[in-house]
Structures are given as structure tokens and as C-alpha cells.
Chains A and B, each alone.
Chain A
């Protein structure tokens, strides 16, 4: 028997060394004491005033001891259970899951090829696809319901469109604290009560600070409500390097960590132990086109580094992948989506969102979701790593088949080829077969597959009584906002 062996069950990947992570963390602590942040919410300012923090107007500076104390109180694991009743999403170190992003104002219409406003129907269709596609583990709305009765209540209707068509755990967005309260009530109805929701949350709520170092009243209102009710939440900075954060990735990571730490302290003051998740869409402002890039390699690099930091801090990480700046689902889309999908996966981020985004976070595409289903499959295959036990080293087999032998008909092949990745849409046929089958491009195959899923897939319907109760919450909200 051998000793001193290390077996890599999966490939190993990290961007930052421990010393680099410490450099970034200690720098962020320096920002907390020296620069602080601004908070535009009376209740939160009151919490800080009653603590050791220094509050001057809206400016809050926080002593390091408070930060380090607060950091200890966050869960290292959160488990989500969708309305299908399965505890399916285990958010813990290096456990990766994939899901869509939210609120895209435009949709690239599958039939006309034109960009138009996103509707309830589009969100329903995306939800259905996410339910059907096995590589999607959680669901965000993808599009935004722009045809809701009232923009102030669109979030409830959007959640309804998601719930009716998808049974998986979700990440939701809300208009304000009141909106979040309604979504949470809906969530509690589904899980069977407040305590049940706490034990088996069905969603995480997505909230953002304003880079650099600003916290607006609506975001804080949502965050404090989440803390109070212990709703899992992410407070995810969206800095654009060179515009709302330093142009260096290190500087951007320091700033966005400081933004996270401020929320860490704020939630701790409100309700210690609330399930807060670290986040970040850390990318750059393109200096030729002045757009916030969803396809830049720097997005992948900064996001993977951010995940390294989250693991060191024992925080669950919400990251970004499967997204692109390309206007349509073309070669640029595939290459950019594949790159940020791949590295976010390798980094071990827990919730990888924005999968399927095109047009730098403004446009939805159903076919893009189906393309990512295939690409996630490839990426996960890479993650399986290489088994080097005796069976897999196959010495006896090599000896048995000998020089000039064949492997196609052996028991070993019969057993192990099934471990390979099986493409569903990629074409590996010979040229003549491809021509015979209609010389179809990937785009055409994607369209057919997407249409097929929309036509045939039936998500498990919502219980009719429950559906009515949920609908009532939406309608009551509409009445309040008439």
C-alpha cells in the first residue's frame, strides 16, 4: 500500500493565493475604518449609531472589531427547497449550481428575430425551459414583466409567472420592502408557514448596493426586512471597473468587499445569524463603447478571484457566468458565455447566475438558455476530473488486448464509455451525414429544440387552491397601488 498520496477528485483551480486574499481583506478593512460608506436609511443609521460605528450624517465608518465579530455569525450552508418539495440546492463550499439572471427589459423574439419588450408570456416561457433543462438548478426571471398592470407591483406578477411554470428553487427581485414582503408571504404559503420557510427557504432575494460604497433606502429596506425574517439574501455589488470602481481588478475587489462587509455588519446589528450571501458582478466599463461588459475576460477573472475570497471568509458565493455582450446568439455569444461559464464553475461559486443573458444584460433569449444547457454539460464533464484507480488505469486490459488489439468490443469499454459527455445539440457527424440531415447550423438546431420543449414540456401545475391564494396577494397589491 502506498502512503503520502494525494488524489485530485476534481481539477483544482484558484486565482488568488492566501496571502493575496489577506491583502485584499485587510485593505477592505482599512476602507471600513478610513472611508466607510454612506447609508440613506434612517432605521439602519439608528442601528449604527447605537453601535461602536461612527456616524456623521449619512456617512458610516466601522471599526474592524465589529466587522470581524459580525463575520462569525453567518451560515456556511443554506439549503433551498423549490415548490417541487425537493431539498435540491445545497449551498456550501465548492458546491456549484447554475441559474438564469433576472429582469431583462428586451427579448430577442424567437420567431421574428427582432428585439422587443419582454412580457409575462416571455417570463413564463423562460420559467418553463428552466424547469425542463436539467443543468439549471435555480431560476431567476430571465426577463422582466413589462405588461404588468402597474410597474410598482410587477414583481408579484413576475413571481407568479415563475411559480406557475417552474418548480425549482429561485432567486427573486423585488421593487421595494413591501414587494419583498408580498413575495415572502407567497413563499410562506407555498412552504406551509413562516417557520417552514425558514427551515426550507424556497428563494433567495437579490439586493444590491450602489458602487462606490453607497446604500440607498430601498435596498437597505429590503435587506433589513430580509434580516428580520431571516430570508436568505444576497447583497451583490455591481461595480464597473474604471467607472464606479478602480480600473485595477485588485482595487475593484477591495471596494466591492468593503461594500459587502458594510452589509455584513448592518445585518448583524439587525438580526445576528441571518442567511446573507456574498455576491458580485465584478466587471469593467468598456472604454470604447461605454457599456457594462458581460463578456469581458476580466469579468471571469475578477469573479473567480471574488469566489476565492468568499471561501476564505466562509461565505456562500453568488457569481456570474453564461452571459455575453453579443446582440444575437452568434459566435461571439458562444465564446463569451462559454468562457465565463467555465471559470465560474472551476472557481467553485455556489450560485452562478445570469446564465443566458445576451446584449450586455439587457436582452433575453430562450435559445440562449438551451445553448447553455449544453455548455454547462461540457463544463461539468471537465469538473469530473480523472479517476486513477486500478480499474481506470486499465493495466490488465492493455495487457490483454496487446499491441495492435482493439477496445471497442471489450467489457471495459462497454462499462466506461457511459461516463463520457453525450452532446445533445453539438454536431459531431461526418460531413455527408450533416448535409443529409439538412446542413443545419447550431442556431437552427437550438431553435428547433427550444420550440420542441415549449410545445411538449408540461411543468407540474400549481395546486389550484394555492394558486388562488397566491393570485390574491398579487391582486391585493394591485388594489393598494391603484
Chain B
């Protein structure tokens, strides 16, 4: 078992996508406890990656390769995990608001959350307000992420939050927003729960938020 965990953390922190899938599958075939693979293998591995990223010892391409590996491993593991096992690593719906075509920032944020074990549904760019609400109803995320890079499209984020309220599902999820012209002030104004100035800090900010609510 512990050698499995060693292999997992090794493949993960090196960002070896295929290798990680293999070792996770092998461990499962050898009757390892799925929750242990997550909590003692993958999550501590990503924790270490996150720490190195913060210390400036790892860079975006490396971190996102690890996140990609993590996401692949989670695809195998998730069906075998009970809801409680997932802990703070919940489900996220993320998209760029209507009229806005900027996608790379939103994608980086999505990958970071995948790296933290989230199941991420990326609904894409230029998504009408209704699409966010529909996706929220369908996927029941713990976290709803919105991106806007234009002052002209920022108001859509507040509208989506209002629509969530009208649909009576606002309090079932936390709302996190980002994008270059977005500010903490604006997030408070429209009643978003979390504002992340960059993708690198978003996962931590979400974790802090959920911990403060717990």
C-alpha cells in the first residue's frame, strides 16, 4: 500500500499523466482503499505541488501538467469514492459570461481546481446567463465560477447571481469570480462569495472560504 502511495505521489508531482493513471488503476486492482489513494496519495501530492508553486520553485506549465495528471487520476477514482471522501474538493461549474470571448484565464482557473481534486464542468465562453443557471441546476456544483475580461460584460455576473437567487438555488453553492477588470469591491457589490485576482490563489481562497463557513 505505502509503495503504491509513493508511486502515486511520484508520478503526480512529475506530471506524468499516463503513468499516474496506470498506478492508480493498479492500486485499485490490488484492492487499495480509494479514499486512502485520494487522501494519502493524491491530495498530499498536489499540496506539495501547490507549496512549490507558491515558493516560486514550480511554474505554470509544470503545475498544470500535475493538475492534468490529477484530473486523469480523479476520473478513475471518483466513481469509487463516497461523497464524504471528497471533502472540500467538490464540484465546480465554470464559464465566461455572455458577450465575452476571453477563455485562457478561465481555463487556467479550471485546471487549478481540477488539480485540487474538483470535478470541473467547463461550460465555455460567451455563455448566456440562463446557461449558468441551467448548468448549476443540472450539475449541483459546490462552486460556481464566472470569468469576465470586459467592463462591458462584468454586469452579467451580477445578473447570474440574481437569477440563481430567483431560481432559489443561490445558497446551495459558493460563487467565485475573476478576470482582469474585476475587483474585490465589485465582487462584494454584486454579492459574489469569493474574488480571486489570479488562478494561482483561487484554490486557496476557495478553501479558506469553505473553512470559514464550516
* Mutual binders A and B: yes
Chain A CB within 10 A, most for which of B104, B153, B198:
B104
- The proximity string for A residues 287-304 relative to B, scoring 1 for CB distances below 8 Å and 0 otherwise, is 111110000000000000
Establish whether residues A216 and B61, one from each chain, have CB atoms under 8 Å apart when the complex forms.
no
Name the A residues within 8 Å of B200 (CB-CB). Answer: 289-290
Interface residues of A (CB under 8 A from B): 105-106, 117, 144, 146, 151-152, 154, 175, 210, 216, 240, 242-244, 247, 285, 287-291, 362
Name the B residues within 8 Å of A244 (CB-CB). Answer: 104
Q: Could you jot down 30 A-B contacts, CB within 8 Å?
A: A105-B150, A105-B180, A144-B151, A151-B151, A151-B152, A151-B155, A154-B152, A175-B152, A210-B101, A210-B103, A216-B101, A240-B104, A242-B60, A242-B61, A243-B104, A244-B104, A285-B60, A287-B59, A287-B60, A288-B56, A288-B59, A288-B60, A289-B200, A290-B108, A290-B198, A290-B199, A290-B200, A291-B198, A362-B180, A362-B181
Interface size on B, residues (CB 8 A): 19
Name the A residues within 8 Å of B152 (CB-CB). Answer: 151-152, 154, 175
Establish whether residues A117 and B151, one from each chain, have CB atoms under 8 Å apart when the complex forms.
yes
Main secondary structure of the interface of B (DSSP, over half): loop
In the complex, which residue of chain B has the Cβ closest to the Cβ of A240? Answer: B104
In the complex, which residue of chain A has the Cβ closest to the Cβ of B152? Answer: A151
Establish whether residues A105 and B104, one from each chain, have CB atoms under 8 Å apart when the complex forms.
no
Further contacts, 18 of them, CB under 8 A, given A243-B108, A290-B199: A105-B150, A105-B151, A105-B180, A151-B155, A154-B152, A210-B101, A216-B101, A242-B60, A242-B61, A247-B61, A285-B60, A285-B104, A287-B61, A288-B59, A289-B198, A290-B198, A290-B200, A291-B198
Cα distance A152–B156 in the bound complex, in angstroms = 13
Cα distance A242–B64 in the bound complex, in angstroms = 12
Name the B residues within 8 Å of A106 (CB-CB). Answer: 181
Name the B residues within 8 Å of A146 (CB-CB). Answer: 151
Q: Nearest-CB distance from B39 to chain A (Å)? A: 28
- The proximity string for B residues 178-212 relative to A, scoring 1 for CB distances below 8 Å and 0 otherwise, is 00110000000000000000111000000000000
Name the B residues within 8 Å of A243 (CB-CB). Answer: 104, 108
Name the B residues within 8 Å of A240 (CB-CB). Answer: 104
Name the B residues within 8 Å of A154 (CB-CB). Answer: 152
Cα distance A152–B152 in the bound complex, in angstroms = 7
Name the A residues within 8 Å of B60 (CB-CB). Answer: 242, 285, 287-288, 290
Q: Nearest-CB distance from A235 to chain B (Å)? A: 15
Q: Nearest-CB distance from A143 to chain B (Å)? A: 10
Cα distance A240–B103 in the bound complex, in angstroms = 12
Q: Nearest-CB distance from B180 to chain A (Å)? A: 5
Q: Nearest-CB distance from B104 to chain A (Å)? A: 5
Q: Nearest-CB distance from B93 to chain A (Å)? A: 21
- The proximity string for B residues 151-173 relative to A, scoring 1 for CB distances below 8 Å and 0 otherwise, is 11101000000000000000000
Cα distance A105–B61 in the bound complex, in angstroms = 29
Name the A residues within 8 Å of B59 (CB-CB). Answer: 287-288
Name the B residues within 8 Å of A285 (CB-CB). Answer: 60, 104
Q: Which 8 A-B pairs have the closest CB atoms?
A: A151-B152, A105-B181, A287-B60, A287-B59, A105-B151, A146-B151, A243-B104, A362-B180
Name the A residues within 8 Å of B101 (CB-CB). Answer: 210, 216
Name the A residues within 8 Å of B155 (CB-CB). Answer: 151
Name the A residues within 8 Å of B108 (CB-CB). Answer: 243, 290
Q: Nearest-CB distance from A6 to chain B (Å)? A: 46
- The proximity string for B residues 39-62 relative to A, scoring 1 for CB distances below 8 Å and 0 otherwise, is 000000000000000001001110
Name the B residues within 8 Å of A290 (CB-CB). Answer: 60, 105, 108, 198-200
- The proximity string for B residues 87-116 relative to A, scoring 1 for CB distances below 8 Å and 0 otherwise, is 000000000000001011100100000000
Name the B residues within 8 Å of A242 (CB-CB). Answer: 60-61
Name the B residues within 8 Å of A144 (CB-CB). Answer: 151
Chain A CB within 10 A, most for which of B59, B181, B198:
B181
Cα distance A244–B103 in the bound complex, in angstroms = 10
Name the B residues within 8 Å of A287 (CB-CB). Answer: 59-61
Cα distance A146–B181 in the bound complex, in angstroms = 11
In the complex, which residue of chain A has the Cβ closest to the Cβ of B200? Answer: A290
In the complex, which residue of chain A has the Cβ closest to the Cβ of B102? Answer: A210
Cα distance A244–B150 in the bound complex, in angstroms = 19
Cα distance A216–B103 in the bound complex, in angstroms = 13
Residues of B98-154 at the interface with A, using a CB-CB cut-off of 8 Å, are 101, 103-105, 108, 150-153
Cα distance A289–B198 in the bound complex, in angstroms = 8
In the complex, which residue of chain B has the Cβ closest to the Cβ of A148? Answer: B152
Q: Nearest-CB distance from B58 to chain A (Å)? A: 9
In the complex, which residue of chain B has the Cβ closest to the Cβ of A291? Answer: B198
Cα distance A184–B123 in the bound complex, in angstroms = 36
Q: Nearest-CB distance from A66 to chain B (Å)? A: 27
Cα distance A216–B56 in the bound complex, in angstroms = 37
Cα distance A287–B61 in the bound complex, in angstroms = 7
